[in-house]
Amino acid sequence: MRGRKYRSLVELETAQGRILLGLYEDTPITSGNFENLVSQGFYDDTIFCRIQPGFVIQGGSPDGTPDGGPEYKALKTIDAEFDLGPARHLMWTVGMARDEDPNSARSQFFINLANNRRRLDGRYTVFADVAGGVRAVKAIAGLECVPLDPVVIGGETKNIGGTPKSKDEARILRAYIV
């Protein structure tokens, strides 16, 4: 629990097993948005669309790509909360992905596979941690991937990992509030 209070627990039933996420009380906008999307069934039958071993696994894209497609772009954006609480991108914490604008998070989230504080603290909202199911997270992180095209961020070319060869093996079957 990393010393933070949970406002709720969300279970992700994945093809690799169950992952239990503890959503933090001190990030009400982000945790509330995630709970709302879970309640709507938004994450059901989606995949972890980006896997970067030793860094993150990313899910929550309606079209199964890191870009998210038109349905993703149509979602309401939420304000960043990385200045609230002890935002630490430690191993097994969960952050909200976003576009270039810090206040552009929607539905995509990532699970840190390492201590990513230097790269991510103060840039992305940490709103939860993996309260159970680390074995399933590791299994997803170990799936065979097709490399994604590198992207240029701030004038620097970056490898952003890959997308799973087998979408079924990376699938979130169902998400629900426990």
All structural domains of the chain with their residue ranges: 6-177
pLDDT at 84 over 80: no
Three-state secondary-structure class, residue 18: strand
Higher-confidence residue of 73 and 135: namely 135
**Please, which pLDDT band fits residue 12 given cuts at 50, 70 and 90?**
very high
**CATH 1.20.120.1200, domain 6-177, yes or no:** no
Average pLDDT, the chain: 91
Supply the DSSP string of 96-161, one letter for each residue. E---SSTT-B-S-EEEESS--HHHHTTTS-EEEEEEE-HHHHHHHHTS-EEEPPPEEETTEEE---
pLDDT value of residue 85: 60
| Residue 8: alpha-carbon gap to chain centroid | 16
125, burial (CB in 10 Å: exposed 0-12, middle 13-18, buried 19+): buried
| pLDDT tens-place string over residues 129-175 | 999 999 999 999 999 998 887 777 677 777 778 899 999 999 999 99
Q: Show the tokens assigned to 148.
A: 């994604």
pTM, rounded to two decimals: 0.92
